[in-house]
């Protein structure tokens, strides 16, 4: 499909048509309201978001490598192939299929309550846990918007966004073994040595067919 001229407003309207932004956004609104009601502000409530912001690129990198690029495995009669990994393979096969850009809503239905439970039980103060929940939801919404925007027809205007846009498109259209961060560029990828000079990287034959499973059935660990 050819690209067309779209504005940020056009993108926002399309973004709002999908369940993931509403589920994460609803969690964010509820968390912010609860945080304001609870009060109990400490200096740690200011520090925690900065720590989370520094850690997020590495979290994003780890999830992308270990969960989204999970190779299906068969252990005895049990097939291990999570929904996130299956949907991500579909996303690589067709990067312009908009619904595949978003975190699948069946995953969020259980993941958001789990994160909420962690926020309410794992911290020394309920207030600090709510601060954590607010920022997790904000980061999740920022991730979904950035990822959607990169795969939309919207063309980069700023230098910062162009760098992020280019980074992720290299992952999808040049080589899936590099450039794993989505919302940042040159952060975790540099540290984890997955940020090479694109001129030194060959085009991968499996960039749209992760693990080459459809090209060579014998390479699929689920076969045989």
Number of domains in the chain: 1
Strand partners, 74: 79
| pLDDT cut 90: percent of the chain above it | 83
User: CA-to-CA distance for 51 and 136, rounded, in angstroms?
Assistant: 12
Nearest to 147 by CA among 57, 15, 26, 9: 15
pLDDT at residue 179, as a whole number? 96
In a domain, 208, yes or no: yes
In a domain, 152, yes or no: yes
In a domain, 202, yes or no: yes
In a domain, 17, yes or no: yes
User: CB–CB of 129/119 below 8 Å?
Assistant: yes
User: CB–CB of 175/204 below 8 Å?
Assistant: yes
User: CB–CB of 187/59 below 8 Å?
Assistant: no
In a domain, 3, yes or no: no
Nearest to 130 by CA among 138, 140, 119: 119
User: CB–CB of 24/108 below 8 Å?
Assistant: yes
Instruction: Determine the average pLDDT of the residues in 82-90.
Output: 95
pLDDT at residue 67, as a whole number? 96
In a domain, 1, yes or no: no
In a domain, 111, yes or no: yes
Token digits for 125?
């103060």
Nearest to 181 by CA among 169, 197, 168: 168
pLDDT at residue 79, as a whole number? 84
pLDDT at residue 3, as a whole number? 60
User: CA-to-CA distance for 162 and 166, rounded, in angstroms?
Assistant: 6
Q: What confidence category does residue 129 fall into, taking pLDDT thresholds of 50, 70 and 90?
A: very high
Alpha helices in 2-82 (DSSP H): 8-15, 19-38, 44-63
User: CA-to-CA distance for 104 and 57, rounded, in angstroms?
Assistant: 21
Q: Which residue, chain included where needed, has tokens 């999908």?
A: 18
pLDDT at residue 223, as a whole number? 29
Q: Which residues contact 134 (CB under 8 A, 6 or more apart)?
A: 28, 31, 32, 35
In a domain, 2, yes or no: no
pLDDT at residue 74, as a whole number? 86
- Residue 134 domain boundaries: 8-219
Q: Which residue, chain included where needed, has tokens 């919207």?
A: 154
Residue 150 predicted with pLDDT over 80: yes
Residue 224 predicted with pLDDT over 90: no
Instruction: Determine the average pLDDT of the residues in 45-59.
Output: 96
């Amino acid at each position: 499909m050819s690209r067309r001229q779209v504005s940020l407003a056009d993108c926002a309207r399309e973004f709002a048509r999908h369940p993931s932004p509403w589920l994460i956004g609803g969690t964010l609104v509820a968390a912010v309201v609860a945080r304001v009601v609870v009060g109990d502000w400490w200096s740690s409530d200011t520090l925690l978001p900065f720590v989370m912001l520094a850690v997020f690129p590495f979290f994003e990198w780890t999830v992308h490598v270990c969960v989204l690029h999970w190779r299906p495995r068969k252990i005895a009669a049990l097939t291990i192939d999570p929904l996130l990994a299956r949907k991500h393979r579909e996303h690589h096969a067709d990067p312009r299929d908009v619904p595949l850009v978003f975190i699948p809503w069946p995953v969020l239905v259980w993941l958001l309550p789990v994160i909420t439970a962690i926020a309410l039980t794992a911290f020394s103060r309920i207030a600090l846990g709510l601060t954590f929940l607010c920022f997790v939801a904000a980061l999740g919404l920022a991730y979904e918007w950035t990822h959607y925007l990169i795969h939309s027809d919207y063309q980069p205007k700023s230098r910062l966004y162009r760098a992020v846009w280019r980074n992720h498109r290299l992952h999808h259209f040049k080589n899936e073994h590099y450039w794993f961060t989505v919302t940042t560029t040159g952060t975790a990828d540099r540290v984890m040595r997955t940020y090479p000079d694109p001129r030194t990287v060959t085009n991968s034959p499996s960039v749209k067919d992760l693990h080459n499973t459809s090209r060579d059935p014998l390479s699929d660990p689920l076969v045989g």
